[in-house]
Amino acid sequence: MRKGTTKFPFESSIGGQAAKRRAITLGPMDKIFQKEKWEELDLTIAFFFYQNFISFTVARSPLFIEMCRALTHGSPSWYVLPGSENLRTTLLTKAKKEVQKMLEPIVASWSTSGVSIVSDGWTDPARHPIINFMVSSLNGLVLLKTMDTLGGYKDAQFVGELFIKVIEDVGVDSCVQIITNNAPVGKVASMIVEAKYPQVFWTPYIVHSLNLTLKSIASDVLWIGNIIEDARHIRNFVQNHTNALTIYKEYNNLSLLKIVDT
């Protein structure tokens, strides 16, 4: 995330106990420099965790700390590696502010370029229904907000009101269209939006439209469905039998993809 080479000096205990900061007598300028450098190092490590979806508990691992210590052998000893609690709280807030700064030029262009608001629903590992709202413009795609809709009935009125709130957050004059899947809820929700803001029109997902078209063709043409079913059986047989999988990999380096609805 930052230019230049960054070193990560710190102290640790292979026994797993938290590293303690040394009491060092420093002048005012030294303290300012160390504080700025400390914060930069913390954010660098934090982004490493966030971008690679690494569990915060890894920060507690003595082996992780010793690995970084070995890589930075001979570096100053005033820096202590951030712990899992800092990664999930203070540093996460700071990282969010850094990302928001990087997105400021894109957000500033919305009023002149116009935007499309895209929604996407999914379910997280805790089985909570989540709706993502993304803002697409000529300068890129921005994840605006993620909403946990647990306890809310996701009918057309509910989704339509969420879209209206997002449009108002982005700026009514900047919004050109909303994009959803072809489900009836999305279509009716778009009508609710258009009733309040007639200048905002609805566009269905192109990929979802193609998926529905191909699914309709496959269900109407028998031999296509048979081929899909045969491919699924062959894939499962090769994947579940060691000898067959060994032979397959001997003659082919392609991955066996699972056939899904989309």
10-residue mean pLDDT profile of the chain (262 residues): values are 40 38 52 73 87 88 83 65 86 90 91 90 80 91 86 79 92 92 84 93 82 75 80 90 90 79 56
The answer to whether residues 164 and 113 belong to one domain is yes
The answer to whether residues 84 and 58 belong to one domain is yes
**Structural domain includes residue 199:** yes
**Structural domain includes residue 257:** no
> Can you give the pLDDT at residue 178?
93
CATH of the domain at 163: 3.30.420.60
> Can you give the pLDDT at residue 215?
76
Q: What is the DSSP string of the chain?
A: --SS---------TTSPPP--------HHHHHHHHHHHHHHHHHHHHHHHHTT--GGGGG-HHHHHHHHHHTTTS-S------HHHHHTHHHHHHHHHHHHHHHHHHHTHHHH-EEEEEEEEE-TT--EEEEEEEEETTEEEEEEEEE-TTS---HHHHHHHHHHHHHHH-GGGEEEEEE-SSHHHHHHHHHHHHH-TT-EEEE-HHHHHHHHHHHHHHHSHHHHHHHHHHHHHHHHHHH-HHHHHHHHHH-----PPP---
State the pTM of this model: 0.58
The answer to whether residues 150 and 224 belong to one domain is no
**Structural domain includes residue 80:** yes
Q: Which two tokens stand for residue 29?
A: 């300028």
The answer to whether residues 117 and 200 belong to one domain is yes
* Whether the Cβ atoms of residue 136 and residue 107 lie closer than 8 Å to each other: no
Determine the structural domain holding residue 225 and report its residue range: 210-251
